[in-house]
Structure 1
């Protein structure tokens, strides 16, 4: 977490992630980040991870830019 805090919702629990903390979510685990205020986060994901998860629609980005 770079700035702020948010809750990570899982099917059976909710974990609060605070500034300076991080969380590792195993592949295939359903999760939903929920923030009450604006937060800044840094994500590390495999390049094959779609930004819309298992749903493909007009917001899905398949060809990612390299930094």
Structure 2
């Protein structure tokens, strides 16, 4: 988390401070929510957050979100600058074939692999967010 919470934090510098993929860093908190940044590439895993929505903002690159909804399965494309909120309880699978940098907004303590998931691949960090720096 930002060690100086009442000072500006440049997101590019925050992202440059780590290399791990699918391993978000907490840059600040807003009430009971974490604001996290992450670098991603390849595929995550199908998972859902039963009790919370999940907000995505693409800072760099392009993100695809596979969604399993009542009407079937679909994929949404998020280019740089796009935002999308996955509704609570919706199974989703993020992927970034060419890599991306993201900003995520979710309640403190939310796991990166959700509440329902299959086997977690080795390249996905099971975490509730790491401190920045």
Which structure: greater helix fraction?
2
Moved over 2 A (4+): 59-66
Q: 1:38 to 1:28 in 2, by over 3 A?
A: same
Shift of 1:26: 1.2
Separation in 2, partners of 1:31, 1:45: 15
Normalised to the residue count of structure 1, the TM-score between the two structures is 0.76
Which structure: greater strand fraction?
2
Which residue of structure 2 aligns with residue 61 of structure 1? 127
Unaligned runs of 5+ in 1: none
Aligned length: 64
Normalised to the residue count of structure 2, the TM-score between the two structures is 0.41
Shift of 1:43: 0.4
Select the structure of larger CA radius of gyration.
2
Unaligned runs of 5+ in 2: 1-57
Superposition RMSD in Å: 2.4
Separation in 2, partners of 1:40, 1:60: 18
